[in-house]
Amino acid sequence: MAQMPKENFSRQVESYTERLDSIDAGWYKYRCVYDNQYNMVAMEIEEGGDIFNFEFAYDEQNRLKSVVQTDNDAQYSYRTEYVYDSLGRRSEELAYFLENGVVSSETKAIYQYNEDNNVSTVIHSYYNAGTWVNDSKLEYSYDDQLDIAEILSYGNNSVNTWLLNGKTVNTYDNNHNCIETKQYYYEGEDEWWLENETHYYYDLNVPSNNIAGLDFMFYNRLFINGINHFCRNKLLYYEDWMKKSDGQFEKNRTTYYYSTITGINENPEKLLNIWPNPVDKTLYLEAAELQQVEIFSIEGRSLLTSDGLGSMDVSTLSAGCYLMKAIMKDGRITMQKFIKY
């Protein structure tokens, strides 16, 4: 992989985290680059001297198409490819591990959806001896605001039966930010062991950028088509409480530090004002030199378009969370989220 360019991008964000951990103190630094469609196109993660590079590619509908990860020596790499169904929803995720250019393992994830077009199930499998073997399964459920409320996890045994082994429970504030996550281990007979509890803290005056959810994008799979399902506002820090074998909890804290966003559009959220939010029937738009507006589902399907003349009728949309893409006459683009009830 070529070295990541250091300048001449329309939007550039740099951030790093400090992790204060009584067991394994360390720090992490993220550097992200976005294109003029606000897609993350490159990321560099530095962890205790090791550097990992990521490149992101998108299709003509701005849906994530592939992610390639390499280490600094490029001796190994991961490549993940994303497939979409006829409704524009992510249907498969194919991952390859390459060592010295040779594929040594393959895995995949199959996405299934509920009647609200939100992800309901993700099944993970690995390729072995010419066949795909089921490995794990995640089941998603949602609250009345269509935020992810609970995730049940299952493992697969030798006779190809799903066994419940854990769950994650999320709690949100009025801005749809996840403020608490509890992870449980299933002990059987409807008994649960609390393994980990995390509390999240935000700057409620600042909208979230993609940088705020990097950890969740890779580890919790809460990013679908580039849309953050976890943070609506800027994440400041979070605290983990890990339960040890003696029953006591050990506290770790991760703090995010953000550099200044630079480029042609330093505050894209102010290009367009929309109200009311949440909305029932009519969404009003206020912007200078607005050329076109397009509304997408959370899965990235285009649903409505408008010339942006003051308002949009959204009464035909189902209840849920949507993404609005607004294009200005000078070519600038801004993204906004809104809730339809």
pLDDT of residue 115: 84
Is 4 a member of any domain?
no
Is 2 a member of any domain?
no
Is 1 a member of any domain?
no
- Whichever domain contains 276, its CATH number is 2.60.40.3880
Q: Which of 178, 272, 242, 184 is nearest to 216 (CA)?
A: 178
Q: Do 52 and 126 lie in a common domain?
A: yes
Sequential pLDDT tens for the chain (341 residues): 233 333 333 334 444 444 444 444 556 677 767 666 666 788 777 776 778 888 888 887 777 788 888 876 666 788 889 898 888 788 999 999 888 778 888 999 999 988 877 889 999 999 998 899 999 999 999 888 878 899 999 998 777 799 999 999 999 998 888 899 999 999 888 899 888 899 989 888 776 654 444 444 444 444 444 444 567 777 778 888 877 667 677 777 777 766 544 333 334 445 788 888 788 888 888 887 788 888 877 656 778 888 867 889 898 888 777 878 888 887 777 777 787 87
Q: Which of 242, 263, 284 is the last residue of a domain?
A: 263
Pairing between strand 302-306 and 290-297? antiparallel
The whole domain housing 180 covers 11-263
Q: Do 88 and 178 lie in a common domain?
A: yes
Q: Do 30 and 78 lie in a common domain?
A: yes
User: Tens digits of per-residue pLDDT, 161-171?
Assistant: 999 999 999 99
Q: Do 279 and 247 lie in a common domain?
A: no
The two three-digit tokens of residue 258, written as one number:
């953000």
User: Tens digits of per-residue pLDDT, 253-275?
Assistant: 777 766 544 333 334 445 788 88
Q: Do 85 and 210 lie in a common domain?
A: yes
Q: Do 198 and 253 lie in a common domain?
A: yes
- Whole-angstrom Cα distance, residue 88 to residue 276? 28
Q: Which of 216, 232, 263 is the last residue of a domain?
A: 263
Q: How long a stretch of residues is the chain?
A: 341
| Alpha-carbon torsion angle 320, 108, 196, 201, nearest 10 | -40
Query: Total structural domains in the chain?
Result: 2
Q: Please list, in sequence order, all residues whose beta carbon lies within 8 angstroms of the beta carbon of residue 284, skipping any fewer than 6 positions away.
A: 274, 275, 276, 310, 311
Q: Do 139 and 28 lie in a common domain?
A: yes
Average pLDDT, the chain: 76
pTM exceeds 0.85, yes or no: no
